[in-house]
Amino acid sequence: MTTIEFNQLVNKIESLLFGFAMRLTRNKENAKDLMQETLMRCYDKRNRFKMGTNFKSWATTVMYNSYINHYRKRKTRNKVIKPIEDFNYMVENKSVEGNAYSRIMMKELRNIVGNLSKDYQVPFDMFVQGFQYDEIAQKLELPMGTVKSRIFYARKKLKGMCKDRYENIETLRAA
């Protein structure tokens, strides 16, 4: 599709697209932004549009998907209203390095992780160290689904081991 053909098709449905954007966003400025983003995406991907099919349907689908993607980003974005200094109380005097109980607990947790088979332990340790699933899969030369599965089952096994071990301790403390 050439630029001229694209502009002719857009001119025919421009008011319809703007109306659809207004229904989605319920705000004139956001509708203008959505309209602009949609037209940019449509123009960039105009070679994917098959002549003879419904341009209006294609453009409104692009707009709806753009709106949904933006909505999801907004939904998952953390919104902090207060400055970070207001949250200092949460981290003050929470040092665990010198705390003997914390050291013992960490040692026990390392031992519990050490009880896992190597198939589960290695991917889990890498994940805890901050590696992404794809990095772990690449380094261990495993499919990503296998890596995800092993980490999931490692967590499940660790949860069961911790529950078995510490449920009895809490019962003793309560007595």
CA of 29: how far to CAs of 4, 18, 55, 133, 139, in Å? 27, 11, 25, 39, 47
pLDDT digits (tens, 9 = 90+) for 54-113: 999 999 999 999 999 887 777 666 565 666 666 666 656 555 556 777 777 778 878 888
**3-state DSSP assignment of residue 86:** helix
CB within 8 Å of 27: residues ≥ 6 apart: none
Burial of 168 (C-beta count, 10 Å sphere; 0-12/13-18/19+): exposed
The structure's pTM equals: 0.44
Q: Give the model's pLDDT for residue 121.
A: 87
The answer to whether 140 and 147 are in contact (CB under 8 A) is yes
To the nearest 10°, report the CA torsion of 123, 134, 128, 81. Answer: -160
CB within 8 Å of 47: residues ≥ 6 apart: 1
Dihedral-angle region of residue 141 (phi above 0 means left; psi in -120 to 50 means alpha; beta otherwise): left
The answer to whether 148 and 135 are in contact (CB under 8 A) is no
Spell out the domains of the chain, with CATH numbers in brackets: 3-76 (1.10.1740.10), 100-174 (1.10.10.10)
Other CB atoms within 10 A of residue 151 CB: 19
Measured CA to CA, the distance from residue 25 to residue 22 in angstroms comes to 5
pLDDT digits (tens, 9 = 90+) for 13-64: 999 999 999 999 888 998 999 999 999 999 998 888 888 889 999 999 999 9
